[in-house]
C-alpha cells in the first residue's frame, strides 16, 4: 500500500528506576534500533524525538537532544509532545516525512526519567490548565481517575475487583518473559488482593508504576528497505492521532466536567473507540484480522475497556474475555504480551513507541518465549491528555 513505511529496526533500554538521564536511556535505545536495522547513524536523515517535560530544558527539544548525543551529522530534527500519545505522534511525524519524500530513513526516539510516585503537573500556577486544575481543585490524581473508571464498570457491567486482578495476573505472566520489563515476576490474584488499596476499588498491583525507560524505531521508505535488502519487513500501515468529537458525555483525563448534550446527542462510540476505528479504516483491516494487540493498561480495569474500544468484544464483555483466557498468551487474541504497563510502568514519551517495538518483534517471530504463533497483524492503542489519540497498525 502507498501509505506504508518499513520498520527496519527496533530497540529499547530496559525499564526500571535507574536514576540516570533520559538522554542516556534514549541514546542506548537508538543505538540498539540502528544495530537491529543494520544501519550506521550517519545514514539517518531525520530524528524525531518524543519529548519529556520532566527532565529540564533538553527534554523539550528531544529530537536535537538525541541527535547531539549520537553525534551531530546534519540530520533534520523534530520534537513532539502529546503526553502519553507522544510516541505515536513522533511515529506519525516520521512516517509523514518519509511519505512526503523528505527523508528515506528516520529515527524515532522516546525516553523518560520519571519521578517517584504518581505524575503531577509541572510547577507554577496555571488556572487555565485543566491538568493543573484537577489537582488543585479536586485533588484528582491519576489513580483517582483510574478508580472512577473502575467504579463505572462495576456499576454498569457488574464487574468485580476479582475480574480486574485477572488482568494483572495475565500481564505479569507475560512480563516475566520480557527482558526489557521492569517487573518480571508472576503474581497471583491473591497477591493483588493483598496489596494496599490506592483508590478504591483499585489496589497497588492494579495500577501501573512510573518508570525510567526508552524505546526507538528506525523507519524507512519501502524503496529504501528493498535496496537495503529487507525483502519482507514489518510495515506500519496506519497511525491514528484523532481527537474527540463533541459532545463528550463520559468524564476523561484531565477534564473535570463533561460537555452538555442538551442540543446534540453523543455519538454511539467513545473517543477511545474512535481512535481504533480510524486506524482500522486507514489500514483496511478490522478487529477480526488481528493477531495481537498492545493497549494502554494504566489500570487493570482500563485494559478491559480497551478490549471493547478496539472491537474485540461488545460493551461490558471485557471481563468475560479475560476470564476465558482469550487475551492471554496462547489465547484467541493475546493482549499486552509484552507485559503491558503493568510490567513496564510509564515512561511517557517512550510507551507508544515501545508498543510498536513489541509488535515488530512479534510480527518478525522474534519474541522468544512470549511469541504469538503466526502473528501477522497487530494494533496498539493509547491516548494522551487533551484529546490526543494514539493507535498504530503494523502488518507483515
Q: Is residue 202 located within the same domain as residue 279?
A: yes
243 and 384: one domain? yes
- Say if residues 143 and 196 touch (Cβ distance below 8 Å): no
201: cis peptide before it, omega within 30°? yes
CATH of the domain at 274: 3.40.47.10
Question: Distance (Å, rounded) from C-alpha 263 to C-alpha 256?
Answer: 21
Q: What is the pLDDT of residues 102-144, one digit of tens each?
A: 999 999 999 999 988 888 887 788 888 888 888 888 888 999 9
**Percentage of residues of the chain with pLDDT beyond 70:** 99
* Residue 350 located in a structural domain: yes
pLDDT at site 117: 81
Residues 172 and 313 in one domain: yes
Rounded-to-integer distance, Cα 245 and Cα 229, Å: 43
What's residue 2's pLDDT? Answer: 62
Residue 271 lies in a domain: yes
- Assigned C-alpha cell, 117: 510516585
In terms of domains, do 226 and 243 share one?
no
Say whether both 200 and 281 belong to one domain.
yes
Q: Is residue 122 part of a domain?
A: no
pLDDT tens track for 199-254: 999 999 999 999 999 999 999 999 999 999 988 999 999 999 999 988 888 888 88
Same-domain pairing of 342 and 259: yes
In the listed set 171, 199, 234, which residue is the last one of a domain according to the structure?
234
Q: Examine the domain organization and report whether 186 and 249 are in the same domain.
A: yes
Domain assignment present for residue 124? The answer is no
267 domain-assigned = yes
In-domain check, residue 146: yes
Q: Are residues 246 and 347 in the same domain?
A: yes
pLDDT band for position 306 (50/70/90)?
A: very high
Asked if 98 and 166 sit in the same domain, the reply is no
Domain assignment of residue 163, given as a range? 130-207+237-395
Q: Is the pLDDT of residue 313 over 60?
A: yes
| Whole-number pLDDT of residue 197 | 97
Counting the structural domains of the chain, the total is 2
Q: Are residues 68 and 169 in the same domain?
A: no
Residue 125 falls inside a structural domain: no
SS3 per residue for 246-311: CCCCCCCCCCCCCCCCCCCCCCCCCHHHHHHHHHHHHHCCCHHHCCEEEECCCEHHHHHHHHHHCC
Would residue 387 count as lying in a domain? yes
Are residues 71 and 153 located together in one domain of the fold? no
Is residue 230 domain-shared with residue 242, that is, in the same domain? Answer: no
Cα 344 from Cα 83, distance rounded (Å): 17
Amino acid at each position: 500500500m502507498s501509505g506504508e513505511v518499513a520498520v527496519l529496526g527496533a530497540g529499547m533500554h530496559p525499564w526500571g528506576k535507574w536514576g540516570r538521564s533520559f538522554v542516556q536511556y534514549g541514546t542506548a535505545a537508538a543505538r540498539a534500533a540502528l544495530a537491529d536495522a543494520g544501519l550506521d547513524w550517519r545514514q539517518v536523515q531525520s530524528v524525531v524525538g518524543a519529548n519529556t517535560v520532566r527532565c529540564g530544558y533538553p527534554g523539550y527539544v528531544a529530537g536535537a537532544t538525541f541527535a547531539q548525543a549520537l553525534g551531530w551529522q546534519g540530520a533534520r530534527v523534530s520534537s513532539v509532545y502529546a503526553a502519553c500519545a507522544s510516541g505515536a505522534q513522533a511515529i506519525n511525524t516520521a512516517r509523514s516525512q518519509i511519505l512526503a519524500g523528505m527523508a528515506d530513513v528516520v529515527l524515532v526516539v522516546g525516553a523518560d526519567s520519571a519521578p517517584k510516585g504518581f505524575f503531577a503537573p509541572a510547577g507554577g500556577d496555571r488556572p487555565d490548565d485543566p491538568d493543573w486544575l484537577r489537582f488543585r481543585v479536586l485533588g484528582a490524581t491519576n489513580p483517582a481517575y483510574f478508580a472512577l473508571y473502575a467504579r463505572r464498570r462495576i456499576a454498569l457491567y457488574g464487574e468485580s475487583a476479582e475480574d480486574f486482578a485477572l488482568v494483572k495476573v495475565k500481564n505479569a505472566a507475560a512480563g516475566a518473559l520480557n527482558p526489557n520489563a521492569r517487573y518480571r515476576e508472576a503474581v497471583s490474584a491473591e497477591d493483588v488482593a493483598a496489596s494496599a488499596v490506592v483508590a478504591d476499588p483499585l489496589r497497588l498491583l492494579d495500577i501501573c508504576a512510573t518508570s525510567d525507560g526508552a524505546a526507538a524505531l528506525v523507519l524507512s521508505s519501502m524503496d529504501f528497505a528493498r535496496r537495503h535488502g529487507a525483502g519482507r519487513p514489518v510495515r506500519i500501515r496506519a497511525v491514528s492521532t484523532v481527537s474527540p468529537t463533541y459532545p463528550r458525555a463520559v468524564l476523561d483525563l484531565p477534564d473535570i466536567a463533561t460537555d452538555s448534550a442538551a442540543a446534540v446527542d453523543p455519538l454511539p462510540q467513545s473517543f477511545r473507540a474512535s481512535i481504533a476505528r480510524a486506524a482500522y479504516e486507514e489500514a483496511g483491516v478490522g478487529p477480526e484480522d488481528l493477531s495481537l494487540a498492545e493497549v494502554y493498561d494504566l489500570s487493570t480495569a482500563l485494559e478491559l475497556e480497551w478490549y471493547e474500544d478496539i472491537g474485540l468484544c461488545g460493551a461490558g464483555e471485557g471481563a468475560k474475555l479475560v476470564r476465558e483466557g482469550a487475551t492471554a498468551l496462547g489465547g484467541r487474541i493475546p493482549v499486552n504480551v509484552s507485559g503491558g504497563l503493568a510490567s513496564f510502568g510509564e515512561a511517557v514519551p517512550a510507551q507508544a513507541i515501545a508498543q510498536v517495538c513489541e509488535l515488530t518483534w512479534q510480527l518478525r517471530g522474534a519474541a522468544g518465549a512470549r511469541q504469538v504463533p503466526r502473528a501477522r497483524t497487530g494494533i496498539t492503542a493509547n491516548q494522551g491528555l487533551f484529546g490526543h489519540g494514539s493507535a498504530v497498525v503494523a502488518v507483515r
